[in-house]
Structures are given as structure tokens and as C-alpha cells.
Amino acid sequence: MTMREKFESTVGKALEGGSEKYRRKLAEQHKHPVRTRLQLLLDPDSFVENGLLARNADADLVTDAIVTGSGTIADRPVCVIANDPTIKAGAWGRQTIRKITRQQEMAEAAQCPLIYLVDSAGARLNEQFQIFIDRQHAGRIFWNQSRLSGQIPQICILFGPSPAGAAYIPAFCDLVIMVEGHASAFLGSPRMVKMATGEEATAESMGGARMHCTVSGLGDYLAVDEADALQTAARYLSYLPQNWRAASAAADVHQPAPGEDLWGVIPASHTRAYDMRKVITGVFDEGSLAEVKQLFAPELICTFARIDGHAVGVVANQPIQKAGTLNGDSSDKGAHFVQLCDAYGLPLIFLCDTPGFMVGTEVERTGIIRRGAKYLATIAACSVPRICVVIRKAYGAGYFAMSGGGFQPDAILALPHARMGIMGPEAAINAIHFNRLEAIADESTKAAEVQRLRDEYTEDLNVYRAASEFFVDSVVAPTSLRHELVSRLRLLRTKARNDVKRHHPVIRG
């Protein structure tokens, strides 16, 4: 065999991946081979691989079940780490971990985004002495992810399982995309859980993609298939910069999509529901929305968007879901998104229409005070430009959770519909005048007095009174909101980001 033949044979074997049996099994599951996934994600002919011949001497372990390297997405350099499920079900061995950590270090040195394409059975127990205890092995992956967090964007696409320790890979990433019907993540497999606790569970019910995107909040986007997942990863990346020091690239400016007049979208009555997405699409560039955690805590909308061609983060209450009331899950969702935007320099626009935080035994037991405080602390630590727009209701700590006055936004705007106060008129009158009203025996007289008191209290919340005291910077017509935001964001583009001098805050998590 000539040198050339030896080279081509060796490289060809490595590029094939696992045996025909496992490649066929992958196709039967309607899953792409790892190199096809990379071709769909990256620009043509841009991929440069590291460690192709790792464990080449082991016929069943070529590449050691992991493909690592770099390429470009829309001409932007990125690093990639992708499991090959046709080799040992993508399970980690000693060279797998070395390749992963090496690629993480290359991404840090290049200060470019890092994308994980996960489809792995976890660590190989028969190699645990070599992959678990050594300072340079498995735990180093998560150490690196933690250090890279906030330096460079890290996006995880889950195509298949990510069990046990490997489940922390998505948990340490900025954004997690999960393919429905295939992706799963859990610390203990159903078989292990049954042995330990006696609980009967399936991979789907315990850690499936839909569960994580709707219940646990680990998943940020539920993809219908692999192509959707890969396209979404590229779309999310388009809003983020190369690293924390860089700026997000501007895009062409598009006017909002044609729709209803915003005067008609927002009801005058504060008890009527409406879809906040109509407000968002009426203000931001057409086709520019990319929601995060859309299926989780839907009472709070968190979405990337563009306005005047520039990327921003939008946090908005959703009145058609629980009246836009905030709870523990929406606090966690908001804290994650605000921190993500702050880490990578995206200005934040808060669209406020909330009666405040949820009350009741259940929410108290699930830690609403602690989780709400974590969200508020995240806003307080935020140094990117922030604009609060009071669309309609802004009551209680919900106002602060939407970056209201006490949390020092760069601007507070209000629509003519706005009302701001400790609580709404119904709850306030009950709190202030309960005993006096209970003493009124005649029901019609009591109802008339309740209405009079509510009207009087509501007048106290009048947005024009707030404006006359200079509690808001401007009362804006709904149809002028986009122009107002564009002008203010242009001014704030050169805002200095000054941090409080300390090691770090202490937040009860």
C-alpha cells in the first residue's frame, strides 16, 4: 500500500464513523449522521477538524465518538463539538474528553461562539478511572463551560440523550434547543431511578424535550426536527456577538409587519385581556422575533428582536396568560434572559402590563419570594441600556420586575393607558376600607360606595399625574412608540457600563 493509499484509507475509515449497523439504525430513527449535521449548520467547505484520528488504533473507537473543530456560520467563525452516536452511542471515553476540553480552550483563545451538538449515552463506565478522577478529565468540561459563560456564546442542540453528568452540558449553555421525540436529559436513567426509588418512568416523561421546554425550563426551544434545530441555533446566534467585548452585527432595517392600529389592540379596560405579541410585532422590525422559552412560563414573553436593524432583548408581560401575573417560573425565565442579554451587550426593552406577583399558598411553597428576588437582583446588576414601557398595569413589585422606576432604567415611557401603583383599585379598596364597607348592611349602597372609592383610587393612578410629577420621562402614543424607542436607543448606544465594585453579589438561588 502506498503512502497515499494508506492516508486515504485511514482518513476514510475515520470519516465513516461507526459500523454500517449503527449508521443504519440512526437512519431508521430519522436522525442525521454527525457530519451531515455539521454540513447543515456550517457554511459550505468551512469545517476544519481537530483529532480526526484520535483512537484510530481502536477499530471500534475511531474519533472516540466525538467530532470537534471550527467553521463559519454566515461567515462568522465558530467552534463546534459534536457527538457521533454511531460509535459507542456517543458515550465519552478518555480521548473524547480531551478533544472536548481542547476545543473549549480553542474557542476561549479565539473568543468565538461554541456550539455543542449533543447525542450521547454519557460516560463509559469501563473507562471511569481514566475519565473521572484526573484533574484534566470529565469535570474539566463543566469547569470550562462555567468559565466561558458570559465570555462567548455557548449554544447546545440536543439531538438525542444527554444523561447523568453529560446533562450538565446543556445546563451550562446560554441557549438550549431540543429536538422533540429524540432529545432527553436526566441525571439518572429510568432504570437507575427504578432501582433507587422504585419510581416507574420513561426517558420521555422524566427528561424528554417537551417536558424540559414546558415544565423544567431547561429547554429554550422545542424543535420539530433536526433541520429546525440547526436553523434555530443559527438564528439565535445572529443576535449575539462573537464575544462579550464585541457588538452584535446590525442588519437591514425593516418596518413592523402590517397589523392592527395599536390604539385598538390595547383595551382601555384594565380587566380585558389582549395579546402582547400584537404590540411587539407592531413595534419591532418585521420578521425579527426569536422567542426564548416560549412554551415555559408563557405569562412572560422573552424574545430577541431587532429595532432599527439593531438586536435587542424584549421582556413583556402577556395579559392573555394568567393576566400577566408573575410567579416563580416566570421569575426564573426573566432572570435567565436578562442575564443573557446583559452578558452580551443587548439593550433591554421591558413592556409592562402586570398586576404584580402571584399570591397564594402554592406559590409561596415554591419559593416565589426567593425566586422573585433573584430576578430583581439580576435586573439591578444589569448594565446594558434598559427602557421600561408601561403599556397598561404596573402594580406592586411587578413594576420593579419590569425594570420600573425604583430599578433605575435609562428611560421610563408610558402609554396613555398606563396606571402605576402599589396595587390595583379592587385589591386596594378591599385592603384600605374592608371594615367600613363590611359595616354597610344594604348591598346596593355598599356596591355604590365600593365603586366610588375605586373611581377615586383609580384617578390617583392617572398617568398624567405621574407625568406631572416627572415620575415618567414621556407619555407616548402607541403609534409613536417605535420612533421613541429608536431615538432613545440611538442615544444610549454609547452608554458606559460601570459595575459596582465587589467580588460578586450573593443571590439566594
Q: How many CB atoms lie within 10 A of CB 60?
A: 10
Retrieve residue 4's grid coordinates: 497515499
Q: Are 223 and 177 in contact (CB under 8 A)?
A: yes
pLDDT score of 126: 60
In DSSP notation, 415-438 reads -TT-EEESS-HHHHHHHHHHHHHH
Of 3.90.226.10, 3.40.1000.10, 3.40.50.970, 3.40.50.720, which CATH number belongs to 3-239? 3.90.226.10
**Collapsed DSSP state (helix, strand, coil) of residue 494:** coil
What is the rounded average pLDDT of the residues 124-147?
77
Give residues with Cβ within 8 angstroms of 456, minimum separation 6: none
So what's the pLDDT on residue 36?
Answer: 97
| Residue 145 in grid coordinates | 463551560
Q: pLDDT digits over 379-429, tens only?
A: 999 999 999 999 999 999 999 999 999 999 999 999 999 998 887 777 777
Residue 334's closest CA among 391, 402, 256?
Answer: 402
pLDDT at residue 168, as a whole number: 92
b/e burial code for range 76-94 (CB count within 10 A of at least 16 → b):
bebbbbbbbbbbbbbbbbb
Superfamily of segment(s) 262-423+462-492: 2-enoyl-CoA Hydratase; Chain A, domain 1 (3.90.226.10)
Give the strand order in the sheet containing 175-179.
Answer: 48-50, 66-73, 76-83, 114-118, 154-158, 175-179, 221-223
Which span out of 185-189, 192-196, 349-353 was modeled with the highest average pLDDT?
349-353
∠ CA 493-494-500, nearest 5°, is 110
Extents of the domains making up the chain: 3-239, 262-423+462-492, 425-460
For residue range 87-118, what is the model confidence (pLDDT) as tens digits?
A: 998 888 888 999 999 999 999 999 999 999 99
Using CA atoms in the order 313, 318, 323, 324, what is the torsion angle rounded to 10 degrees?
-10
pLDDT digits over 6-17, tens only?
A: 999 999 989 988
Q: Tell me: pLDDT of 303 over 90.
A: yes
The mean per-residue pLDDT over the stretch 311-324 comes to: 97
CA angle in degrees (0–180, nearest 5) for 103-105-111: 100
- Between 232 and 138, the more confident residue is 232
Strand-pair partners of 83: 66
Q: What is the pLDDT of residue 318?
A: 98
Give yes or no on whether 3-239 and 262-423+462-492 have one common fold. yes
- Give the cell for residue 197: 426509588
Residues paired with residue 502 on neighbouring β-strands, in sequence order: none
C-alpha distances out from residue 451 to 24, 56, 148, 463, Å: 72, 81, 57, 20
**Rounded-to-integer distance, Cα 193 and Cα 125, Å:** 18
Determine the average pLDDT of the residues in 438-442: 79
Of the listed ranges 4-18, 151-165, 456-470, the least confidently predicted one is 456-470
For residue 262, CA distances in Å to 46, 277, 415, 418 come to 45, 11, 11, 14
Q: What is the mean pLDDT of the chain?
A: 92
Question: What is the predicted pLDDT for the residue at 246?
Answer: 96
395/136: higher pLDDT: 395
Say yes or no to pLDDT of 300 above 90: yes
* pLDDT band of 129, cuts 50, 70, 90: low
Q: Among 32-41, 56-65, 81-90, where is mean pLDDT lowest?
A: 56-65
**pTM as predicted:** 0.94
Statement: residue 125 has pLDDT above 70: no
Q: Please, what is the Cα angle at 92 between 89 and 97, to 5 degrees?
A: 150
Each residue of 210-244: pLDDT tens digit? 999 999 999 999 999 999 999 999 999 999 999 99
Q: What percent of the chain has pLDDT over 90?
A: 72
Q: What is the rounded CA–CA span in Å between residue 304 and residue 290?
A: 5
Q: Are 83 and 117 in contact (CB under 8 A)?
A: yes
How far apart, in whole angstroms, are the C-alpha atoms of residue 318 and residue 296?
A: 12
